[in-house]
Amino acid sequence: MWCQLFSEPGAGSDLASISTKAVRVEGGWRVTGQKVWTTVAQFSDWAMLIARTDTEKPKHEGITYFVLDMKSPGVAVRPLREMTGSALFNEVFLDDVFIPDELVVGEVDGGWKVARATLAGERVALSQKMDAYASDKDLLRFARSRELTPVGRHELGVLVAESQAIDLISARIVLKQLSGADVSTTSSVGKLLGMGMGQKIAEYVVAQLGAAGVVSIPGQPSDHAMEQLIAGRATTIYGGTTEVQLNVIGERMLGLPRDAVTGLRAAGAAE
């Protein structure tokens, strides 16, 4: 089991602003800092970690990518309780943790390039359907269990059609990745659409149920509807926020200009 030690309390969407430091020592590095929103850290054997190894360089430089044994002395994991009652995410504290030289991935101070490749892979994975979040499987299971109004059937058809289209986009992204192509931008499209689709499905089911949507009845097709609705909000943030994905798509795919002050697209601001 692996986890990803990237985000920090002061560096989430602006990931290159990380402050966790790695200091060179004999045979390796000593790492000190804090990571946050780390999925399944409490169960993980290994971690992918980025830390700052040169504070004098620009923020996208001076970052090194490490593999960390989560059983190393100085690693402490603290669960973060969510609205659903679960604790999938965690804070991870690194107190003078030793990492040997052989666990550096890529070049020292060149970890940003490796981190971007990891993030692209993460977005490819997030564009796929996951059991933890609402999918068209949940949607169809629900639809078969009740009589829908004509409007409800129309909305159902729209969701199924959109979901199938997103599946096709996701398959294309995976094929591009397997062929060795750069999917750093197209994976943002997949993540943005895939996570939004899960939210739409959960919202549809809860809306169809009305007041009954807030009640969980084990064994019923709607038993996880409200939980999926609440849990699905996190997908707007993790793996790169919606705003970050839109920036990536706008700048790298559509060639839109970047506003140096606000980070908003100049064309979007004009509208």
Would you please indicate which residues are annotated as catalytic (active-site) residues?
Answer: 122
DSSP helix/strand/coil, 56: coil
Q: Which tokens hold the place of 4?
A: 């990803």
Runs of H (alpha helix) within 60-135 = 111-126
Q: Which tokens hold the place of 129?
A: 């359907």
Cα→Cα distances 116→15, 19, 177, 247, Å: 10, 18, 14, 15
Q: Taking Cα atoms as reference points, which of 239, 251, 247, 142 lies closest to residue 194?
A: 239
The Cα–Cα gap between 197 and 18 comes to 31
First-to-last CA distance in the chain? 46
Strands 75-80 and 21-25: unpaired
DSSP helix/strand/coil, 179: coil
The Cα–Cα gap between 115 and 16 comes to 10
Q: Taking each helix axis from N to C terminus, what angle separates 150-178 and 186-209, rounded to the nearest 10 degrees? A: 160
